[in-house]
Amino acid sequence: MLNYIVRRVLYAIPTLIGVLLVTWFLFFKTASPEVIARRNLSSRAPTQAQIQSWIKGHGYDKPPLDQLQNSTLDMMRFRFGKSDATKEDILERVKKGVVPSFTIGFNSFVATVFFAVIFAAIAAYFRGTYVDTMTTVICVIGMSLVYMIYIIGFQFLFCKILKLGPTWGFNPDENLIKYILIPTIIGVVAGLATEIRLYRTFLLEEINLDYVRTARAKGVAEPAVLLKHVLKNALIPIITNTVAVLPGLILGSLLLENFFGIPGLGSYLVEAISANDFTVVRAMVFLGTLLYIVGLILTDIAYALVDPRVRLS
């Protein structure tokens, strides 16, 4: 088992290196330094001198291998440098933003998977009836809505009409819950539709298998058949797929923090985009990828733990 974990982590390293190569290529090689400098300084009609100093300052004039080395090693050591726009240290800002973003993200993740399993089980139990059909219809519509609509709609409902929480703002000294409750709820609702449909499919794939028939032949009652026998097997693909929730959390972080004024990693990135702040964007892309890769590794480990066929080999 430990063997498996170690191997999995080792596999991740060349992937991470590949990602760094890709981002380096993306940010340094797909446009000439001039163009990038211009884009970055676009708000302030730059002079040729400003452009040159920007290029020097950001190391775009060094030979490619140096660039590669610096940016790669810097990234890995979390030496992100300073923001182009605000000149503040990126790592410091990241550290401050971690708490709100992770709180919302982690809670959304757990709650989404939890509720998705519950609703999927209900739909699977009542398969073929109107409960099931209604669930599918709602989910298909839910999958077709833009994320922003969820936020706008529920923010309006919860904050303006029901006044359950603040529309905007964040105070780290106060009780976190007040500020993150509604964003978390919206994050969950936005992500539920796809997951419910997916888990329902996993459950229904298992229900027609032979071992379920054996369980019924033994005299096991229908609810137990679903919740004990089917669910345990369906958990394998479910767990493997939880990693797909992560990109949704990142997107949620970008949009929710923007709408609710929460100073997390997401809003940091959104600000950087408006300011054409390449350095920050590079750092955030790296961070996001790192998190995702960690998520993939954790999912693989969880999968190995849940499936006895893998665990014992």
Partner 1 sequence: MSDVLLSVENLKTYFRTSRGIVKAVDGVSFTVEKGKTRALVGESGCGKSMTALSILQLVPEPAGYIDGGKIVFEGRDLLDLTWSDMRTVRGKDIGMIFQEPMTSLNPTFTIGSQLSEAMTIHGKDFGTAIERAVELLDLVGIKDARQTLRQYPHELSGGMRQRVMIAIALSNNPKLLIADEPTTALDVTVQAQILRLLKDLQERLGMAVLMITHNLGIVSEIADDVSVMYAGQVVEESATGALFSMPRHPYTQGLFASLPARNPRGQDLETLEGIVPDAAAWPSGCRFAERCKKKFDACSVPAPVVEGVRCHLMVSGGTGGVENGEWGVGNQPPNSPLTTPHSPDAPEAIDA
Partner 2 sequence: MGNPLLPLQLWLDDHPVLQNWLYNLVPVLVIVLLALALRQGLKQPIWAEAARRIRRRPAALWAIGIIGFYGLIAFSDSIGLYDAKKQERVSLLDAISRREKERYYSAPLATMTTGEAFPKPLKEKHILGTDGKGDDVLYQTLKGARTAFIIGGLTSLLTIPVGIILGLLSGFYSGTKYKWIDDLITYIYTVISSIPSILLQIAFVMVLGKGIFQICIALGMARWVGLCRQVRGETLRHREREYVRGARALGVSTWGILTRHILPNLLPTVIIFTTLGISGLILSEAILSYLGVGVGDGVGSWGNMINASRDELAREPILWWNLASASTAMLGIVLAFNLLGDALRDAIDPRLRS
117 Cβ contact partners less than 8 Å away, ≥ 6 residues apart: 199, 231, 238
Geometric angle at alpha carbon 58, from 53 and 63, rounded to 5° = 100
* 305 lines the binding site for partner 1 (CB under 8 A): no
DSSP string, 180-239: HHHHHHHHHHHHHHHHHHHHHHHHHHHHTSHHHHHHHHHT--HHHIIIIIIHHHHHHHHH
Q: How far is the CB of 308 from partner 1 (least distance, A)?
A: 5
Pick 127 or 178: Cβ nearer partner 1? 127
Q: Which residue, 275 or 306, has its beta carbon nearer to partner 1? A: 306
Options 67, 83, 233, 242; binder of partner 1; rule CB under 8 A? 233
Would you say 153 or 223 has its CB closer to partner 2?
A: 153
Measured from the CB atom, is 203 or 236 closer to partner 1? 236
CA separation, residue 288 to residues 5, 111, 124, 214 (Å): 22, 21, 35, 46
Contacts of 55 (CB under 8 A, 6+ apart): 33, 34, 37, 61
Q: How many residues bind partner 2 (CB under 8 A)?
A: 49
Interacting residue with partner 2 among 1, 6, 32, 133 (CB under 8 A): 32
User: Which of residues 211, 227, 247, 273 is near partner 1 by CB under 8 A?
Assistant: 211
The one of partner 2, partner 1, none whose footprint includes residue 250, by CB under 5 to 8 A per kind, is partner 2
Site membership for partner 2, residue 76 (CB under 8 A): no
How many C-beta atoms surround the C-beta of residue 85 within 10 A? 17
Tell me whether residue 221 or residue 273 sits nearer to partner 2 (CB atom). Answer: 273
Assess 35 for contact with partner 2 (CB under 8 A): yes
Dist CA 104 CA 205 (whole Å): 32
Please state the closest distance from residue 94 (CB atom) to partner 1, in A: 41
Q: CA nearest 267: which of 88, 97, 99, 90?
A: 97
Question: Please, are residues 75 and 20 in contact by the beta-carbon 8 Å criterion?
Answer: yes
- Number of helices (H), then strands (E), belonging to the chain: the values are 15, 0
Q: From the list 57, 172, 247, 308, which residue makes contact with partner 2 (rule: CB under 8 A)?
A: 247
Stretch that binds partner 2, among 15-23, 80-88, 111-119, 299-307 (CB under 8 A): 15-23
Least Å from the CB of residue 226 to partner 1: 13
Q: Which of residues 283-312 bind partner 2 (CB under 8 A)?
A: 284-285, 288-289, 292-293, 296
Q: Does 144 bind partner 2 (CB under 8 A)?
A: yes
274 binds, among partner 1, partner 2, none (CB under 5 to 8 A by kind): partner 2
Judge residue 4's burial from the number of C-beta atoms within 10 Å of its C-beta, 0-12 exposed, 13-18 middle, 19 or more buried: middle
Cα-Cα end-to-end distance for the chain: 9
Angle between helices 130-143 and 90-125 (to 10 degrees): 160
Q: Which residues bind partner 2 (CB under 8 A)?
A: 14-16, 18-19, 21-23, 26-27, 29-32, 35-36, 39, 140-141, 143-149, 152, 156, 246-247, 250-251, 254-255, 269-270, 273-274, 276, 278, 281-282, 284-285, 288-289, 292-293, 296
Query: Which residues of the chain form contacts with partner 1 (CB under 8 A)?
Result: 128, 208-211, 213-221, 224, 229, 232-233, 236, 306-309, 312
